[in-house]
Structure 1
C-alpha cells in the first residue's frame, strides 16, 4: 500500500515533467506568469477593490481544481492539510495583502515592488540556519548584483510617497511571509505531502477565507457586474495563481529556494514589457541594462549552487 498522503499518480506526473520540460523553460515561464500578477493588479484596481478581486480569484481557482484535488484531499491526514493551509496563508494571503495594503496606504507601487523583490535575499538569510542551504561568497555576491539590476530596472518608477512610516513595513512583511512559506514548502516535500494540484487547492481555499474577511471589512463580497471585473478575476486566476504559484512550487521541487526566488529578479523587467504592450508605458535603455545585470546575478547564484553540490 502506498502512503495515503502521497498519491502514486503525482509521482508519475512529477517524473514526466522532469523528463519532458527542462528547468530553464519552467523558470522562464515562471517569470512571465509571476510578472502578470503585477499587471493584473494594475488593471483590476480600475474596476474593483483589490481584495475583492483576489478573493474571487482564489474562489475560482478552488472551484476549478476541486475535481482533480478531491481524491488526494480525502486520503490526506489532518496534519498534512494543516501544513499546506499554513503555507498558503503565508505565501498567498500574507504576501499579496502586505504588498496591496501598503500601496493602498500610499506606498508608491514602484517602491513596494522593489521591497517585494528583496525575496531572494530574504529567503537566503532565513535559510542560513537550515541544513543544506549553503550559498558561498559567489552566491551572495550574485544576490546583491541581481538586486542592483532590479533597482536599475525600477529606477524611473521609484519615489518616496506620503504613506505613514509603518506602512512601508507592509511590503517587507509580505516578502518575508512568502520567504518563510518557500522554505516551509521545500521542507514539506521531503515529508508526506500532497500532489501539486491538491496542494494549490488547499492554499487557494484557505487564502479565499482570509481575503473574504479582508474584503468584507471594506464592503460587500458580491462580484462587480462589469466585464473589467470578470477579466481581472480570470486574468489573475489563470496567469497569476495557476501559472505563477503553480510554476513557483513546481520549480521549487526541482531546485533550491534561493535559486527559485532569485529567478524572480527578472520579473520587474518582464512586468515593464507587459505594461508597455498593454498600457503604452515607455521603455528605456536603463531597463535593458538592469535586466542584463539581474541576469548576471542569477547566473552567479546558479553557478555558486552547482559548485557546492
Structure 2
C-alpha cells in the first residue's frame, strides 16, 4: 500500500471526528449533516454531469439500489451515530477508537463471507485492538461523569453500518466510476439528513461562523479526502488492510482533540492507544509477509511451468 496514500487517508478520516466536534457546539447533528451534504451533492452533480455526462446511461435499477444501500450504511448510518455520540459527550478520540474496532468484526466475517483466511497472528492483533478500546473507553467514561453509559454503544452501531457497506461493495462488481458512485451515496444521504432535520425542526442553520467553518472542513477533508480515499484503498488493498488503518484513527484523533479542544489524554488513554498501535503493527506486518509469500509462490509456479 502506498505510504502517502495511507497517511492521507488516516489524516482525512480523522478530520471527520474533529469536524463533528467543531460543529457540535453550534448545531444539532442532523443540522450539520444536512448542510454538509446538500451543497456537496449539488457540487458533485455539476462536476459529474460536466465531466462524465453518460456515466449513468447503463445503470440498472439493481445497481442503483445497491449503491443507495451502500450510501445509507456507509454515510447516513455511520455518520449519524458518530455525530450523535460526540454530541452526547463521548470524546472524539474514544469515538474514533470504537469505530476502529472494525477489523475485529470485519476479520471475523471475512472468512465466511469473502472466503479470506484469517491467521492466528491477525486474531492476536485484533484482540489487542479490542483491549485498547476497552482501556480508552473506561478512561473516557471515568473522566466524563455526565455522559450516559449507553452513549458509548452508539459508535458501535456506526461501525457495524460501515462494515455492512464494505461487504456489500466487495460482494458485487460495479462499472460505475468513483465520482458517479459518490454522487449516488451523497444524494441518498442528503435526502435522509434533510428529512431528519426538517422533521425535528433543526433545518435552519445557525449564524455562527464556526458552523460554516465546520461544514467546509467536513466537505473538503472528510468527504472528498476521507471517504474517497477509503474506497480507493479498499479496492486496491482489500478489507483487512483498509480496516487495519482504522486503528490509527484513534491516536491521531485523540492527540488532535487534546490539542484543539483540551480533551483528556491521561496515562490510561495512552496505554489503550499503545495497544491499538501494537495491533496495527502485528496485523500489518502479517499482511506484508503474506503478500511477499504469495508473490514468491506465483514466481515459482511460473518458473516451473516454463518449458
- The answer to whether the Cα contact below 8 Å between 1:135 and 1:304 also exists between their aligned partners in 2 is no
User: Which stretch of structure 1 is more off in the superposition, 133-142 or 287-296?
Assistant: 287-296
Alignment of 1:143-222 (within 5 A): 143-151=126-134, 156-159=139-142, 163=148, 165=150, 169-188=153-172, 191-222=173-204
CA apart distance, 1:127:
2.3
Partner of 1:90: 73
CA apart distance, 1:111:
5.5
CA apart distance, 1:289:
5.2
- The answer to whether the Cα contact below 8 Å between 2:101 and 2:246 also exists between their aligned partners in 1 is no
**Structure 2: how far apart are the matches of 1:217 and 1:75?**
35
Q: Are residue 129 (structure 1) and residue 108 (structure 2) matched?
A: no
Change (3 A) 1:255 1:94: same
CA apart distance, 1:148:
3.3
**How high is the TM-score relative to the length of structure 1?**
0.81
Mark the runs of 5 or more structure 2 residues left unpaired by the alignment.
Answer: 295-307
**How high is the TM-score relative to the length of structure 2?**
0.81
**Structure 2: how far apart are the matches of 1:289 and 1:39?**
22
CA apart distance, 1:43:
1.0
Change (3 A) 1:226 1:207: same
RMSD: 2.7
CA apart distance, 1:36:
0.8
CA apart distance, 1:183:
1.4
- Which of 91, 95, 119 pairs up with 2:102? 119
CA apart distance, 1:185:
1.7
- Which of 243, 248, 251 pairs up with 2:233? 251
The SS at the match of 1:48 is coil
- Which of 215, 235, 256 pairs up with 1:233? 215
**Structure 2: how far apart are the matches of 1:242 and 1:261?**
19
The SS at the match of 1:95 is helix
CA apart distance, 1:263:
0.7
Change (3 A) 1:169 1:287: closer
CA apart distance, 1:168:
5.2
**Structure 2: how far apart are the matches of 1:103 and 1:182?**
24
- The answer to whether the Cα contact below 8 Å between 2:68 and 2:184 also exists between their aligned partners in 1 is yes
Change (3 A) 1:138 1:260: same
**Structure 1: how far apart are the matches of 2:195 and 2:108?**
32
- The answer to whether the Cα contact below 8 Å between 1:107 and 1:168 also exists between their aligned partners in 2 is no
**Structure 2: how far apart are the matches of 1:224 and 1:74?**
39
Partner of 1:9: none
- The answer to whether the Cα contact below 8 Å between 1:138 and 1:304 also exists between their aligned partners in 2 is yes
